[in-house]
């Protein structure tokens, strides 16, 4: 192992243990508040918003995610 390799590896593991995955800022309840009926369509819309959010590198905040949800729900 290279010099300092074990130290870097421990630091990487420590960082990984502290990391928490980002949470999608909208959910099914938000879709229902838009007047959508409960059902598979809600899941598909939330999935589409999530893909959009991921493609944007998780940077869109709740307001932008809600706007995207509204846009897709039309």
Give 49-71 as a 3 state SS string: HHHHHHHCCCCCCHHHHHHHHHH
Q: Is residue 7 part of a domain?
A: no
Q: How many CA atoms lie within 13 A of 58 on its CB side?
A: 5
Q: Is residue 65 part of a domain?
A: yes
How many whole angstroms from its chain centre is CA 60?
9
Provide the number of structural domains found in the chain. Answer: 1
Does pLDDT of 74 surpass 80?
Answer: yes
Question: Across residues 25-46, what is the average pLDDT?
Answer: 97
The pLDDT of residue 3 is 64
The pLDDT of residue 19 is 92
Q: Is residue 19 part of a domain?
A: no
State which residues form the domain around 67. 24-73
Q: Is residue 67 part of a domain?
A: yes
Give the integer Cα–Cα distance in Å for 33 and 7. Answer: 50
38 sits in which H/E element: none
The pLDDT of residue 56 is 98
Strand boundaries in the chain, DSSP class E? none
Q: Is residue 8 part of a domain?
A: no
Tell the residue number behind the tokens 């928490």, with chain if given: 20
Does pLDDT of 20 surpass 70?
Answer: yes
Q: Is residue 46 part of a domain?
A: yes
The pLDDT of residue 5 is 80
């Amino acid at each position: 192992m290279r010099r300092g390799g074990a130290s870097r590896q421990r630091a990487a593991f420590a960082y990984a243990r502290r990391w928490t995955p980002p949470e999608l800022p909208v959910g099914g309840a938000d879709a229902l508040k838009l007047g959508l009926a409960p059902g598979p369509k809600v899941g598909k819309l939330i999935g589409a918003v999530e893909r959009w959010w991921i493609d944007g590198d998780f940077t869109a905040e709740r307001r932008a995610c809600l706007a995207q949800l509204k846009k897709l729900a039309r």
